[in-house]
Amino acid sequence: MSQTPAKTIHAVFLDVDGTYADYGVVPEAHTQAVRTARADGHKILLCTGRPLSMLPAHILEAGFDGLVASAGAYVEVAGEVLMDRRFPDEMAARTLAALDAHDAVYVLESPDSLHVPRAAEERLREIVEAHFNQRPDGRAAGSSAIVGSLSPVPASPSFAKISVFEAPLPVGSIAAEIGEDVAVVENSIADEGRHTGELFRRGISKADGVAVAIERLGISQGDTIAFGDGENDLEMIAYAGIGVAIEGSHPGLLALADRTAPPPSRDGIASAFAELGLI
């Protein structure tokens, strides 16, 4: 008697902003696609530049098998924290000194907290609300994940990443002042006139987080599928067995990807899941 071939279980990694969610709001079709794929045995994880503290209940509502957060610095699978890498104290002090010297508007991001300098809080709230109000329906619901969780910068902050929302010069120039151990990518609230970006420890990427997660899950690299749209997704898309870029993504991502998917406004994750046989 012939035996039915064993079903391949995939580990699927979803970027949040611009991929799984649109201005912080998840389409119902995406929620249902995740639930259906998980019910069929696939492992679905978020893989985001956001820290855990910036992932509200409505983004996590579908239910996930784990997440890679802080652009690869934090990994959690089935409730177990597998990695939590933060700025060493000396690097943190050097970084904050450079940002404060330029009066930058920034948020320090850790899995459990978000911190903003007191002098920059009002300006930050204005920037964030203005960004999320760009939704076609005018809703700013997604902004609450940032502005609703802020507290002042403590004396000795612990953080994995920094989002810069406004600076008087390019964030790459500030990173160069800090040193080679700090890298920068464009962030999801980008505005050419404001100089935005994300500062993180050089050598850490979403791909590192994916590798840690699949080792814990017992799933091979070839059976991974990754979805993304931004510069911080480059390593993840290159690493995955199948890399999917959202239409209109960062040009480098489109060049690396094996295929494309529509944006959240057109239920792209649901469409791609169906085409890939996940649902």
To the nearest whole number, what is the mean pLDDT of the chain? 90
Q: What is the pLDDT of residue 138?
A: 47
Helices and strands: H and E segment counts in the chain: 10, 14
Task: Read off the pTM.
Answer: 0.88
- Measured distance CA(185)–CA(232) in Å, rounded: 6
* CB 59 within 8 Å of CB 30: no
Domain residue extents for the chain = 11-84+205-275, 89-201
pLDDT of 142 strictly over 80: no
Average pLDDT over residues 34-46: 98
pLDDT of 157 strictly over 70: yes
More confident residue, 53 or 191: 53
Average pLDDT over residues 236-242: 98
Instruction: Record the tokens describing residue 233, joined without a space.
Output: 């997704």
Crossing angle for the helix pair 28-39 and 268-275, to the nearest 10 degrees: 30
89-201 maps to CATH 3.30.1240.10: yes
Instruction: Record the tokens describing residue 223, joined without a space.
Output: 């059976």
11-84+205-275: CATH topology is Rossmann fold (3.40.50)
* CB 220 within 8 Å of CB 238: no
Q: What is the pLDDT of residue 210?
A: 98
Average pLDDT over residues 241-256: 96
Q: What is the pLDDT of residue 140?
A: 47
Average pLDDT over residues 29-34: 98
Average pLDDT over residues 22-46: 96
Least confident range of 66-80, 115-129, 180-194, 264-278: 180-194
Which residues are bridge partners to 163 per DSSP?
107, 198
pLDDT of 205 strictly over 80: yes
